Amino acid sequence: MKITNIQFGMLRVPLKTPFKTALRTVDKIEDIVVMVHTDSGHIGYGEAPATAVITGDTHGSIVEAIRHYLTPRLLGEDIADLNRITGLIQASMEKNSSAKAAVEIAIYDLFAQLYGAPVYKLLGGGDPVITTDITISVDYIDKMVADSISAVDRGFESLKIKVGKDIGVDIERIKAIYAAVENRALLRLDANQGWTAKQAVYAIQTLEDAGVRLELVEQPVKAQDLEGMRYVTERVHTPIMADESVFGPMQVIELIRMRAADIINIKLMKTGGISNAIRIADIAAMHGVECMIGCMLETSISVAAAVHVAVAKSAAITKIDLDGPSLCQFNPVVGGVIFNESEITVTDAPGLGIREIHGMETIA
Ligand code: MG
């Protein structure tokens, strides 16, 4: 099974409600779909969103990176040589992690199709049912409380609350949501770099003193501010999770060495795909550090890949934040991972099991 061609599509899916964080507001998913063709007729699928404010990747940069730097290195390569191919992808250029992720996902899809097994089985196997949280966008307090209650009523047992706008209002937001859903759901806060280190300590200690128990607080400070992250981690009881601060395995090693955070959020769009996500899970497990697996605004192509990683690496990846598909108004993908609100189930279909993608526009 040799690579013969790589093609692109654009997939647009409206969201049920606008996605609002301290960094941005988005009302639809617009992702690049990558199709890796082979001489056997098998097609591998990958996907990447433009997340300029986090990874630096745009639709244009993703397509250009793949077209001019990845594709020329991969044409003619044999899918059976998985480790060689992932090495070629990662060494093709600096950064561009989302472009690399899209192609790696498609390669793993093909590798598993080659052996007629779902991806997670070739990564070591696991229990093919996992449970995700759902994001509650930052908004007026009453709206966030209503969205939280509605999510709990839909069966979500963990809520990822977006904060990081105005520290005083953030504290009131959390108190109100905690009071509204107490004992029915765990709360994860994501500040998306919105606080300074001192503000974060103040906010988290205030919530702790008020009896609000949080499962974790994610990325309270700026991505580059590892010292600030350590400052917060040292001063609060609530576990602190790094997201935008860590992309690849080298940064994870540094974060663990500094004890700058308690938990690591793995996203395929930051790691450049599955091979480095596995490395991070293994490094974290060796150090007794837990991981979350998350996604950007992605549909059930690349999120399916993250699900397979989560299933196979469940000893290290104990928290799941793969709500992209459940934020969409509809699922454009007919495939092997079934997203039903909080419950995600993987079937035995080979690869990622993607059979059809509805509404995809071709990119010439
Ligand atoms: Mg985050």
Indicate if 97 and 140 belong to the same structural domain: no
pLDDT, average across residues 243-252: 98
The candidate with the shortest Cα–Cα distance to 32, out of 64, 4, 75, is 64
Indicate if 126 and 111 belong to the same structural domain: no
Indicate if 346 and 270 belong to the same structural domain: yes
363 alpha carbon to ligand 1 midpoint, in Å?
30
Indicate if 165 and 238 belong to the same structural domain: yes
Q: Contact, 152 vs 178, CB < 8 A?
A: no
User: Among residues 20, 100, 160, 267, which one is catalytic?
Assistant: 267
Residue 204 clears pLDDT 90, i.e. is over it = yes
Between residues 335 and 83, which one has the greater pLDDT? 83
Q: Which of 116, 133, 161 is the last residue of a domain?
A: 116
8 alpha carbon to ligand 1 midpoint, in Å?
27
Active site residue 270: no
> Residue 193 maps to which CATH number?
3.20.20.120
Q: Which of 92, 116, 140 is the last residue of a domain?
A: 116
Q: Look up the domain containing 43 and give its range.
A: 3-116
Please, which residues have CB less than 5 A from ligand 1, an ion? 190, 218, 243
Residue 72 clears pLDDT 90, i.e. is over it = yes
What total of structural domains would you count in the chain?
Answer: 2
For residue 165, the model assigns a pLDDT of: 85
Q: Which of 116, 146, 171 is the last residue of a domain?
A: 116
Could you tell me if residue 362 is inside a domain?
Answer: no
243 alpha carbon to ligand 1 midpoint, in Å?
5
pLDDT, average across residues 294-318: 98
pLDDT digits (tens, 9 = 90+) for 205-225: 999 999 999 999 999 999 999
Residue 364 clears pLDDT 90, i.e. is over it = no
pLDDT digits (tens, 9 = 90+) for 153-189: 999 999 999 999 899 999 999 999 999 998 899 999 9
For residue 108, the model assigns a pLDDT of: 99
Q: In Å, what is the CA distance from 111 to each residue of 80, 106, 121?
A: 6, 9, 12
pTM for this one? 0.98
Rounded Cα distance, 86 and 18, in Å? 35
Active site residue 162: yes
